[in-house]
Amino acid sequence: MKPFRITLVHPCVGRRPGQRYIRTWQMESLPAATLAGLTPPDVQVRFYDDRLERIPFDEPTDLVGISVETYTAKRAYQIASDYRRRGVPVVMGGFHAMLCPDEVADFAEAVVVGEAESVWAGLVDDARHGTLKKFYRPAGRPSLEAVQPDRSIFRGKRYLPIGLVEAGRGCHLRCDFCAVQTVFSQTQTRRPIDQILAEVESLKKKKRIFFFVDDNITSNMTQAKEFFRALAPLGIRWVSQASINAAHDEEFLDLLVRSGCQGVLIGLESLDPENLAAMDKAVNVVRGGLEAGLANLRRHGIRVYGTFIFGYDRDTAASFGPAVDFAQRHRFYIAAFNHLTPFPGTPLYRRLQDEGRLLYETWWLDDRYSYNRIPFQPKGMTPEELRRACLEARREFYGLGNILQRGVDRVNRGNAFMLRNFLPINLMHRGDVSRRDHYPLGDMAWRNEFVPAG
């Protein structure tokens, strides 16, 4: 009896014919590895990464699984249609499936609406017996004890040399633009520390730096500190995402250093307190605000990837220069200057929809939309002015003179490994400024029709 066969696919954002895919987007597909690890051992699993390789649609398989994000939805539906045209059933999950389950259901035989840990084995069993249900909805948030990614599916694929590990999932903050707080209702779950340490230990010889992909590794400070204490003896280098309020805790900062933290991504969002209040991120102004928190991180030698969002109601063309100056003055290792994006289901999306300010009802599927276009009407400038100002801010920050100034900073050059990678990383981001502009959602060369699910 032949084994049941599952093909997992990671869709790309889109593709321009003849152009190489954006390199900074080519990290390991942790959702695919997590699903592979949850799959019963008697099932044959293949994995194809649409960012790196061609998908062999004619290769025999019994079920296709696709994890969908909002930016990859259009390409995911193209891939699903090509499989379903061949009579292969498709199951979809991921953030976009939680945000837009009915839309995703139009392109798949089954949709996982929530986290897969408690439903995947049952779904696979239903697929074997030809009894797939349309929706699989876990009851509450599942334990993450079962998360044991199967990285054998990555063999032979050329990802960025960063080891992705999940320690926790979700965030307690309430930022109105954030899809994470929308799908997880401001809650966080964490994996058992011994399991995380075992996973890191198994990868130490292969990975020179780790990225803990947690939405906010500092969301639960007590648990985070416990984890950092346990992590310290492993002697690894790591980076993650954190909120600035954690930078006011001296014990936390000391544990960051002792556990091997090289840098944190901080969502600074805006220098305007009223914008921060509008996005429900007043946490950024407590205890001296950004200046005090960043000074504390700097004092402990922690590098910062600072991210800004523009397009809130108080933003104008004059908002960008101070943000670039701020990022340069604080010598951020890297920085992002992004336009506000209304993800479906978020409070932000509903507000803009109620105010009649959405320019595309479903921008992620609209053929007129491309990466960097503004999908809503800002109050303080035109959509095109917002788009161009974000581009110019990136170009200025990643200008060669600014890169060199930040490169000789004592924090950025304080570790030989991070210094050695500073210039390649910054030059990669510099090149991506133009490559990402108007990047298509979906494969531009795809000429088939969408095949709706029955």
Residues 100, 183 within the same domain: no
d(C-alpha 173, C-alpha 284), whole Å? 11
Planar angle of CA 385, 390, 392, nearest 5 degrees: 95
**What is the number of residues in the chain?**
454
Q: Domain ends where: 117, 143, 169?
A: 143
With a CB cutoff of 8 Å and minimum separation 6, the contacts of 232 are 255, 258, 259, 260
Are the CB atoms for 228 and 197 separated by under 8 Å? no
d(C-alpha 85, C-alpha 99), whole Å? 26
For residue 367, count CB atoms less than 10 angstroms from its CB and return exposed for 0-12, middle for 13-18, buried for 19 or more. exposed
331 sits in the region (left: phi over 0; alpha: psi -120 to 50; else beta) called: left
Q: Is residue 104 in a domain?
A: yes
Residues 28, 101 within the same domain: yes
Lowest mean pLDDT among 20-29, 66-75, 278-287: 278-287
Residues 118, 219 within the same domain: no
Q: How many domains does the chain have?
A: 2
With a CB cutoff of 8 Å and minimum separation 6, the contacts of 283 are 173, 243, 244, 245
3-state DSSP assignment of residue 239: strand
Residue type, 176: D
Residue 271 has pLDDT above 80, yes or no: yes
Q: Is residue 427 in a domain?
A: no
Residues 135, 208 within the same domain: no
| Alpha carbon distances (Å) from 3 to 40, 42, 127 | 11, 7, 13
Q: Domain ends where: 116, 143, 170?
A: 143
Largest CA distance in the chain: 68
Q: What is the pLDDT of residue 361?
A: 86
Q: Domain ends where: 93, 108, 143?
A: 143
Q: Which of 295, 291, 269, 297 is nearest to 282 (CA)?
A: 269
Torsion on CA atoms 210, 204, 225, 190, rounded to nearest 10:
70
Residues 325, 386 within the same domain: yes
Identify the domain containing residue 350 by its residue range: 161-414
Cβ density class 288-323: b for 16+ within 10 Å, e for less: ebbeebbebbbeebbbbbbbbbbbbeebeeebbeeb
Q: Is residue 103 in a domain?
A: yes
Planar angle of CA 434, 216, 30, nearest 5 degrees: 70
| β-strand partners of 170 | 188
| β-strand partners of 241 | 265
Residues 126, 62 within the same domain: yes
Residues 130, 183 within the same domain: no
d(C-alpha 316, C-alpha 380), whole Å? 5
Residue 288 has pLDDT above 80, yes or no: no
Residues 214, 100 within the same domain: no
Mean pLDDT of the chain: 94
For residue 160, count CB atoms less than 10 angstroms from its CB and return exposed for 0-12, middle for 13-18, buried for 19 or more. middle
Q: Is residue 156 in a domain?
A: no
pTM above 0.85, yes or no: yes
Query: Residue 110 maps to which CATH number?
Result: 3.40.50.280
Q: Is residue 446 in a domain?
A: no
Residues 246, 189 within the same domain: yes
Lowest mean pLDDT among 184-188, 230-234, 442-446: 184-188
Residues 173, 39 within the same domain: no
Query: Residue 261 maps to which CATH number?
Result: 3.20.20.70
Mean pLDDT along residues 371-384: 96
Q: What is the pLDDT of residue 72?
A: 98
For 15-42, how does the pLDDT look when each residue is reduced to its tens digit (9 = 90+)?
A: 998 888 998 999 999 999 999 999 999 9
Q: Is residue 152 in a domain?
A: no
Are the CB atoms for 7 and 86 separated by under 8 Å? no
d(C-alpha 302, C-alpha 331), whole Å? 11
The end-to-end CA distance of the chain, in Å, is 29
Q: What is the pLDDT of residue 174?
A: 85
Q: Is residue 331 in a domain?
A: yes
Residues 96, 173 within the same domain: no
For 309-353, how does the pLDDT look when each residue is reduced to its tens digit (9 = 90+)?
A: 999 999 999 999 999 999 999 999 999 999 999 999 999 999 999
Residues 200, 317 within the same domain: yes
Q: What is the pLDDT of residue 56?
A: 97
With a CB cutoff of 8 Å and minimum separation 6, the contacts of 333 are 263, 303, 304, 305, 406, 412, 418, 422, 425
d(C-alpha 136, C-alpha 120), whole Å? 9
Q: Is residue 445 in a domain?
A: no
Q: What is the pLDDT of residue 19?
A: 86
d(C-alpha 270, C-alpha 265), whole Å? 15
